[in-house]
Structure 1
Amino acid sequence: MRRIMLPGEEGPRIPCRGSEPSSEPVRILIVRLSHLGDVVCSVGMFHALHSAFPDAEIAWVVQGEYAGLLEGLDGLSRVFRFDRGGGLAGLVRLWRELRSFAPEISVDAQGNLKSALVTLLGGAPRRVGYARADWQEKLGALSANERAEPSSQAHLVGRVRDLARHIAPTGEFRTSIGLAPGEIRVGRTRLAELLPGTSAPILLHLSSPEDTRGWPLDHWEELTRELLLGGERVLLLSGPGEEAAGRELRARLGEEIPGLTHWIGQKGLRELAAVFAAAGELGGTLIACDSGPMHLAWSSGLRVLVLEGPQTAGRTGPWPPKDGPHRELRAFDSPPCAPCIARRCSHARGPVCMNDLRPSQVLETIRALP
């Protein structure tokens, strides 16, 4: 039966293994559109490609809200913005930009229908993706004419690393977002402004009340008070999505409390990464739920204590998931349904796996850290 070619597809399917291009690629396109944590987990793909093909122009397609994080990567030639609300006009604009870049290879590090469409828009003759079994939306795998072997890794970083080894086996896979020395200096200065002192700080990243993976605001309040009573320096962080929670907690706790600083509505991903790096240099710890900033913290060298409920660190937690400095914590009496890996809770009493994780348990864990 004659095979129907997909739009933008050129030539026969390239075999999975053992096929190396006759010459080094000139232009490579990485497709990883969202979300923040997943983009952070995929940065190793860029490092592997850049070290294996140092003369190649490498570009990345990502949603606009995460573009600033990638634009600081040394060696990344271009960042193309995918406008998820841009409709047909946005797709046409992106198509023109990608065709002007004219990638020879595209690497789909996301694995769903949206990323498959963007990959096809790029028009690369060699389109590399995960094994079909590793795609979130299996139909999208048809966009790739070369696929890696199935990955045995549960964690996204491990799956991205396996994909990178397929296309760039000699590349150096690093998970750092590549802060420049100047950015690190700025991070040190900013942390000193926010939280004066030299002892190891504790950073708390608040969670959105609507997020099933989040921790109740009452718990954050109790934990903060106990940490301050113990003489800790505490930085309470909230991004745009948690700004209301940050303001509410500030109203409850007050502003003029020694050792406590509220950083409400924080924006600027590389600035946040630099502050995380500075806190890591002082031996600090971030306490957070499963979130993008949590991933940004471990990738910046800050130890993380991740509060787990519906998620599991082996899949979505800090990297490396074992034998590293990071810790995961879940409720002593966690329900049998946890971890369910679901974004919506169907439990009769709501997200009890997070609600039943008590501040006293978190405090005990923090005090036991080396």
Structure 2
Amino acid sequence: MKTPIDLPADSSIRRILVLKWSAMGDVVISSALFEDIRRAFPAATLDLHTLPPWAGLFRHDPRFAEVCTIDVRRKQGGLRGLLAWLRFVRSRRYDLIVDLQSNDRSRSLMTLLKLTGAAPRHLMGNHRRFPYTLAPEPAAGVIHAFDLQQETLRVGGIPTVTPRPVLYPGPEHLAHAQELQRQFGLEADNYAVLLPGSQAAGRLKRWGWERYAALAGLLHQRGLAKVVLLGGPDEIEECARIADRCGSDWLVNLCGQTQILELVPLCAGARLIVANDTGTAHVASATPTPMVVICGPTDPLRVKPVGENVVALQTTGLACINCYCKAPCEHHSCMVRITPEMVLARLPEGLIAGRS
């Protein structure tokens, strides 16, 4: 029988590098694993390598001594980025590298470290391929990225106990969120947050402004004092349409007025959250607030934000479900079939008054 590996018991592991790139939602999901690694190695120096767009997520993060944002993507960083990354890693002399990305690009970087004699003794990855020394057994069937990354850590004896993303808003984020709550009368547990958008390239993942406007009206009718719209630049038009349709001061449109980490305190104060499959939903899942995520062309088994407080809603009986299509769709049935009443029915019992 193979002897279990217990990396946290190895006192020689003093410097650790964690890799995670990809989209914002994927990086946010992995922040739960960052927490597990930090807890398992409380005395070690822990660094993170992520992509430049996500550096702000970790600017105030006490878990990391250094956040490296050298761009190693082929088009953006090219050979210069690759060489800079190699110099960075070689100079730090890591004892353990945890590659939570484990795609062809990150694997090629790990291989270069191995072939040049600069790799640490332990290279953890999500897949059993060269040059990783620790990786989980291949998964059978569809598996969520969070579950796969948890399995990766457990192979090295790292306990996985963190149930949801862990993010650290800075003092300026907390202060601005508190000011918005004061300015618009957002009393704790007496408002809902809606995340009705998605990036421009993923418009088919949007449930639709008309349906979000109808849902907002129902939530207000059933006792919530305020309904808040949050989102980024790609979602300003969508949120403006919702606000125009509702046409009342109980609808607070904050789209484009917040930084990404300000969503954490704003969502933490809400009674409930309803969102599309979008990166901001993953940020919102860093709070224990009950959330319904509406999935259309994407598979909730793969994309649902993590946490027991999060539930997914997807229609059934469509041959084209989980198509992941980005081209225009004539019928958009996966979203049209979902009604505001169906969303309300997915909320926890008793969360809002008069729920049927």
Aligned partners of 2:174 and 2:262 also within 8 Å: no
Q: Distance in 1 between matches of 2:158 and 2:189?
A: 42
Task: Give, in angstroms, the shift of residue 236 of structure 1.
Answer: 0.8
In 2, the alpha carbon distance for the partners of 1:347 and 1:235 equals 29
SS in 2 for 1:42: helix
- Aligned match for 2:51, one of 63, 66, 74: 63
Q: CA distance change for structure 1 residues 45 and 330 in 2, over 3 Å: closer, same or farther?
A: closer
State yes or no: 1:217 paired with 2:209.
Answer: yes
- Post-superposition CA distance 1:4-54 (Å, at most 9, x none): xxxxxxxxxxx9954758643121111110212111211232222222211
Out of 90-99 and 64-73, give the one that drifted further: 90-99
- The 3-state SS of whatever aligns with 2:69 is strand
**Counterpart of 1:296 in 2: which secondary structure?**
helix
> Aligned residue for 2:311?
327
| 2:39 is equivalent to residue 25 of structure 1 | no
Instruction: Identify which of 122, 127, 131 aligns with 1:131.
Output: 127
Distance (Å, rounded) in 2 between the aligned partners of 1:269 and 1:170: 29
1:154 to 143, 148, 169: 143
Cα RMSD, aligned residues only: 3.2
1:204/1:236 contact within 8 Å kept? yes
Superposition map of 1:81-100 within 5 A: 81-83=69-71, 84=73, 85-100=76-91
Other-structure match for 2:333:
352
CA distance in 2 between counterparts of 1:207 and 1:269 reads 14
- Residue 304 of structure 1 and its aligned partner are, at CA, apart by 0.7
CA 1:76 to 1:151, structure 2 compared with 1: closer, same or farther past 3 Å?
farther
Alpha carbons of 1:108 and 1:326: their partners in 2 closer, same or farther (altered >3 Å)?
Answer: same
* Cα separation, partners in 2 of 1:344 and 1:190, compared to 1, 3 Å: same
Cα distance in 2 for partners of 1:69, 1:31 equals 15
Of residues 288, 293, 296, the one that matches 1:306 is: 293
Paired residues of 1:24 and 1:53 also in contact (CA < 8 A): no
- Cα separation, 2, equivalents of 1:311 and 1:369: 29
Asked whether 1:193 is paired with 2:183, we answer yes
2:263 to 272, 280, 296: 272
| Residue in structure 2 matching 1:244, options 216, 225, 237 | 237
C-alpha distance in structure 2 between counterparts of 1:170 and 1:362, whole Å:
35
Asked if residue 167 in structure 1 is aligned to residue 125 in structure 2, the reply is no
- 1:329 is matched by which residue type in structure 2? L
**2:196–2:229 contact (8 Å) kept in structure 1:** yes
Q: Cα offset for 1:80? A: 1.0
Contact 2:201/2:326 (8 A) holds in 1: no
2:354 alignment counterpart: none
Residue 162 (structure 1) shift: 1.4
- Per-residue deviation at 1:204? 0.6
Structure 2: segments with no counterpart, 5+ residues: 352-356
Picking from 249, 252, 258, the partner of 1:258 is 249
Shift of 1:305: 0.7
Contact 1:334 1:356 in 2 (8 A): no
Alpha-carbon distance change, 179 to 143 in structure 1, aligned in 2, over 3 angstroms: same
Aligned to 2:194: 204
Q: Check 1:347–1:275 CA distance in 2 against 1; reply closer, same or farther (3 A cut).
A: closer
In 2, distance between residues paired with 1:301 and 1:201?
15
Partners of 1:115 and 1:305 lie apart in 2 by: 33
Alignment match of 1:39 (pick from 24, 27, 40): 27
Normalised by the length of structure 1, the TM-score is: 0.78
Which blocks of at least 5 consecutive residues in structure 1 are unaligned? Answer: 1-14, 133-140
Question: Which shows bigger deviation, 61-70 or 119-128?
Answer: 119-128
Change beyond 3 A, Cα 1:52–1:348: closer
Give the paired residue count. Answer: 336
Structure-2 residue corresponding to 1:336: 319
In 1: Cα distance, 2:6 partner to 2:288 partner: 36
3-state DSSP of counterpart to 2:197: coil
C-alpha displacement of 1:91 = 2.9
CA-to-partner distance for each residue in 1:192-246, whole Å, 9 max, x for gaps? 3344334431111022364232212222233233434445310011213323323
